């Protein structure tokens, strides 16, 4: 009586000797059925009954230890960390989350689970023969492979096609695409608002604006009658409105088609110098006294209130040029925004990057109650600042200046892939920082900054991106980063590969 292992070895020898004249896989299946029939008759002992089943299916599939090669350096990882989906209708097995770039899939050990003791056989790459797979031999998955699973009763079999997917691109690399040019402007600001990208700029001595939804074309936007050619520098957007300041007049629009004069009240003797940015419910500006001032946009309380520094220190550390601002939801709390302002300030002959932050709780139990309290004090003839308006905090730098945001000309700040990104023109302190060549990242909300390996748009013979090194603007819409260059009208749209893959 032959043992099971000996029968499998016998089968393998027969198939290898005859594979030259076996032109169809059906012949192989017939030999397997015959041999398994013999096996079934030999697996009973005097007091043991073996139950045979007609089912043939793979119920689980996973990879063993995988080798990865990046820059000729070998690392390993657990293939079992990558889930394989088994489509029982179409008889396919595949991983939806691709293995990392550089993974070697030419020598892979995999582990199969079958239903009711059905037996897995690996079909050769040329389809002329197959061998019993015990989960110890390595397999070349550089092309899809077929497993034939035979039922223990020899009644039938099922074929599965296994495809192992591997990333062909670096997930942490930016892919940049040149989009349609916007009309050439001198000086500009890019904003993301209502699923569109808007570009405001000085075109022929007049502030103009254009918008796009996908970057393939640009449409002129309707603006109020503006007298300041540089009003484009005072365009900001919050959650539900876009604002632009022209001289001392502030206009607001919910659709960038119909504009109304903003009726918010300024404190006596206060005049705004420029608009800086906005969060979901607030707009921020600097007044002619050089102080930060905040407007709450919700409800029936359109008020501008001068800010005070939460740290009780002087506001002299506010940036004086190249000011940029970003706002995003704070993951730790609902109805809360994190606002970060960055810019440059010169002290003596040295320039430094300055950072200020603000946390905005715009829930009904947060900012609304405090605003009501503030209005009540005004009615009573008092002028006390409620606590929430003081919450601008200076982000101090380490004494050794490690991991600080560098002073870069026309610095841009965007939030993308749950981290902060900053880049800009040349270094202001004569440092050898190439314009628009380095991206800095912060994963702790702007406290520390490090150079990233992310790439900027190419500067080959077909691109003029780098020629606008000191005149450009950037914004992000969640899916993409947009960079628009003044003087050329060139527009680039970039995305991280893994962000694109997740959509």
Residues sharing a CB contact under 8 Å with residue 413, sequence separation 6 or more, in sequence order: 324, 325, 326, 340, 342, 420, 421, 422
Which residues, in sequence order, are CB contacts of 284 under 8 Å at separation 6+?
236, 275, 276, 277, 278, 292, 293, 294, 295, 325, 339, 341
CA angle 438, 443, 444 (to 5 degrees): 125
Question: According to the model, what pLDDT value does residue 306 have?
Answer: 78
Q: How many CA atoms lie within 13 A of 437 on its CB side?
A: 8
Q: pLDDT digit string (tens) for 47-85?
A: 566 788 888 999 999 999 999 998 889 999 999 999 999
- Measured CA to CA in angstroms, residue 7 lies from 121, 152, 238 at distances of 14, 15, 74
Q: How high is the pLDDT of residue 401?
A: 76
Dihedral sign computed on CA atoms, order 316, 322, 327, 331: negative
Q: Are 238 and 203 in contact (CB under 8 A)?
A: no
* 3-class SS of residue 118: coil
Cβ within 8 Å of residue 503, ≥6 positions away:
479
Give dist(CA 1, CA 47) in Å, integer: 16
- C-alpha distances (whole Å) from 207 to each of 233, 245, 285, 391, 488 are 9, 11, 20, 34, 17
Show the tokens assigned to 472: 């450009």
3-state secondary structure of 16: helix
319 Cβ partners below 8 Å, 6+ apart?
341, 342, 343, 344, 345, 353, 354
How far does Cα 170 stand from its chain's mean position? 14
Say how many C-beta atoms besides its own lie within 10 A of residue 186's C-beta: 15
Cα–Cα dist 84/95, whole Å: 4
The angle at the Cα of 374, spanning 371 to 375, to the nearest 5 degrees, equals 90
pLDDT of 211 reads: 97
Question: What pLDDT score does 17 carry?
Answer: 43
Query: What distance in Å separates the CA atoms of residue 323 and residue 353, rounded to the nearest whole number?
Result: 10
CB 463 within 8 A of CB 438: no
Say how many CA atoms lie within 13 Å of 344 toward its Cβ.
21
Q: Which two tokens stand for residue 447?
A: 């406290």
HSE at residue 192, side-chain half, CA atoms within 13 A, is 23
Instruction: Please name the residue that has the structure tokens 């000309």.
Output: 409
Where the chain has pLDDT below 50, the residues are 1-45, 312
pTM, full prediction? 0.75
- Three-state SS for 376? helix
From residue 214, give the alpha-carbon distance in Å to each of 174, 192, 196, 238: 18, 12, 8, 21
Sheet holding 272-278, edge to edge: 272-278, 282-287, 292-296, 303-306
Task: Kindly state the tokens that stand for 58.
Answer: 């793979």
């Amino acid at each position: 009586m032959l043992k099971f292992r000996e029968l499998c070895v016998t089968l393998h020898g027969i198939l290898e000797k005859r594979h030259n004249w076996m032109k169809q896989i059906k012949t192989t299946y017939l030999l397997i059925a015959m041999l398994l029939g013999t096996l079934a008759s030999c697996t009973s002992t005097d007091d043991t009954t073996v139950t045979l089943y007609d089912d043939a299916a793979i119920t689980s599939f996973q990879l063993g230890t995988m080798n990865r090669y990046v820059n000729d350096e070998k690392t390993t990882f657990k293939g079992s960390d990558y889930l394989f989906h088994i489509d029982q209708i179409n008889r396919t097995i595949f991983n939806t989350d691709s293995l990392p770039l550089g993974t070697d899939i030419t020598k892979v050990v995999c582990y199969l689970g079958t239903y009711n003791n059905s037996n897995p056989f690996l079909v050769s790459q040329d389809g002329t023969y197959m061998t019993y797979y015990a989960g110890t031999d390595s397999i070349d998955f550089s092309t899809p492979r077929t497993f034939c699973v035979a039922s223990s009763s020899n009644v039938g079999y099922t074929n599965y096609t296994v495809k192992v997917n591997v990333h062909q691109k670096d997930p942490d690399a930016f892919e940049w695409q040149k989009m349609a040019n916007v009309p050439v402007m001198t000086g500009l600001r890019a904003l993301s608002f209502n699923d569109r990208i808007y570009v405001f700029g000085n075109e022929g001595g007049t502030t103009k604006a254009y918008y796009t939804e996908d970057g393939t074309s640009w449409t002129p936007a309707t603006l109020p009658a503006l007298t300041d050619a540089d009003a484009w520098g005072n365009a900001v957007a919050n959650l539900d409105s876009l604002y632009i300041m022209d001289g001392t007049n502030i206009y607001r629009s919910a659709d960038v088609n119909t504009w109304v004069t903003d009726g918010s009240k300024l404190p006596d003797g206060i005049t705004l110098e420029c608009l800086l940015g906005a969060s979901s419910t607030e707009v921020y500006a600097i007044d002619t006294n050089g102080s930060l001032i905040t407007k709450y946009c919700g409800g029936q309380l359109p008020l501008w209130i001068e800010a005070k520094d939460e740290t009780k220190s002087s506001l002299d550390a506010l940036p004086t040029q190249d000011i940029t601002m970003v706002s995003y939801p704070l993951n730790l709390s609902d109805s809360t925004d994190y606002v970060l302002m960055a810019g440059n300030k010169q002290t003596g002959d040295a320039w430094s990057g300055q950072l200020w932050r603000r946390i905005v709780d715009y829930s009904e139990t947060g900012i609304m109650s405090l605003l009501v309290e503030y209005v009540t004090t005004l009615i009573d003839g008092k002028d006390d600042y409620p606590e929430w308006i003081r919450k601008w905090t200076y982000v101090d730098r380490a004494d050794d200046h490690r991991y600080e945001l560098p002073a870069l000309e026309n610095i841009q700040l965007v939030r993308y892939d749950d981290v902060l990104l900053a880049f800009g023109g040349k270094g202001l302190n004569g440092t050898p920082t190439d314009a628009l060549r380095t991206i800095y990242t912060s994963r702790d909300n702007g406290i520390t900054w490090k150079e990233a390996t992310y790439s900027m748009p190419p500067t080959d013979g077909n691109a003029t991106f780098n020629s606008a090194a000191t005149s450009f603007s950037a914004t992000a819409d969640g899916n993409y980063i947009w960079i628009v260059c003044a003087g050329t009208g060139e527009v680039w749209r970039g995305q991280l590969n893994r962000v694109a893959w997740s959509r």
